[in-house]
Amino acid sequence: MPQTLDPELRRALAERVRYCHEMGIYDFYRRENAATDGVSSAVVESEIREEMAARKSAVVPAIAATNLVAITSSSESGITDPIAALQLIREDLGDCTRCKLHKGRTNLVFGVGSPRAELMFVGEGPGADEDAQGEPFVGRAGQLLNNMIKAMGLRREDVYIANIVKCRPPGNRTPEPDECETCSPFLMRQIATIKPKVIVALGATAAKNLLAISSSLGELRGHWYDFKPAGSDPSWPGARLAVTYHPAYLLRDPRQKGETWKDLQMVMKYLGIEPSKKAGE
Ligand code: SF4
């Protein structure tokens, strides 16, 4: 006999399906241990109910994180136009050879998006597609990030996207501490110029470098961190920083997309973005 879902559960299910579609997932599978439709739907229902309860009861403290990367040179300070300030930072980078990552790069990947973005995503470093095109997150992981942004009701051009290091590490290896340390001051200047309300660190490397905390991604997720580069405008209160999975990781383990959606919903709630709001509507 068909059962009716209560409206809140139906809405949560519809939201989950819409999110999966936005992220390019159209095929759903039934768990092998589900002997009947009743068991299968009960599992899904119970998971969604748990998720709803967790969201309602989530207490998300802001944790003060000391960012150890100070702005060492800020020739753009005093420039009120963020477009001009970002141009100046780019000019300061020039044909950068400050660390060994310059040796293998095709293009330096500075960052892209709105110079007045309220939301900023920071990843680890450019991959092959990004290196070829000179723009962050343009490969498969970039498509997924675009879908995540769209699922939030935003457009790629509404946010700002950058990486900890601006040149591709050989073989897509994790950037080394000296490389992150050398490149990060430029990212700090970008952040201090854009003055976002929220920064989302994509993956453990971005999170650990921004927060100077050596914890697992699991420990870092689900919290707000206060973030403000040392030496930035005293009148700017700083950003709140959240941590989630890197889209490249989600391509390898799509089961974590639900967890990522929770992180993004935390961000949306803080920014006052309605889940149903669509860009351009
Ligand atoms: Fe310069 Fe950063 Fe590229 Fe290193 S990664 S060469 S510091 S732009």
Which CATH number is 141's domain given? Answer: 3.40.470.10
Which of 90, 92, 106, 167 maximizes ligand 1 atoms within 8 Å of its Cβ, making it the mutation to test the pocket? 167
Q: How far apart are CA 97 and CA 184, in angstroms?
A: 14
Q: How far apart are CA 168 and CA 26, in angstroms?
A: 32
**Is the domain of 179 the same as that of 90?**
yes
> Is residue 255 one of the residues assigned to a domain?
yes
Residue 227: strand, helix, or coil: strand
**Mean pLDDT computed over every residue of the chain:** 83
Ligand 1 midpoint to CA 116 (Å): 24
Number of structural domains the chain divides into: 2
93 lines ligand 1 (CB under 6 A): yes
Answer for the pair 108, 187: CB distance below 8 angstroms, yes or no. no
**Is the domain of 74 the same as that of 17?**
no
Q: Which domain holds residue 236?
A: 61-271
User: What tokens does 166 get?
Assistant: 């601006």
State if pTM tops 0.95.
no
Measuring CA to CA, which residue among 256, 259, 228 is closest to residue 241?
228
**Is the domain of 13 the same as that of 40?**
yes
Question: What per-residue confidence (pLDDT) applies to 36?
Answer: 40
Q: How far apart are CA 254 and CA 148, in angstroms?
A: 13
**Is the domain of 66 the same as that of 100?**
yes
- Digit-coded pLDDT (tens) for 25-78: 444 444 444 444 444 445 445 544 554 444 433 334 455 554 445 555 567 777
Q: How far apart are CA 254 and CA 195, in angstroms?
A: 32
Ligand 1 midpoint to CA 202 (Å): 19
User: What tokens does 222 get?
Assistant: 């689900």
**Is the domain of 101 the same as that of 221?**
yes
> Is residue 2 one of the residues assigned to a domain?
no
**Is the domain of 40 the same as that of 133?**
no
Q: How far apart are CA 92 and CA 221, in angstroms?
A: 34
**Is the domain of 17 the same as that of 116?**
no
**Is the domain of 144 the same as that of 187?**
yes
Residue located via tokens 């470093």: 125
**Is the domain of 12 the same as that of 108?**
no
Which of 166, 181, 186, 205 maximizes ligand 1 atoms within 8 Å of its Cβ, making it the mutation to test the pocket? 166
**Is the domain of 38 the same as that of 81?**
no
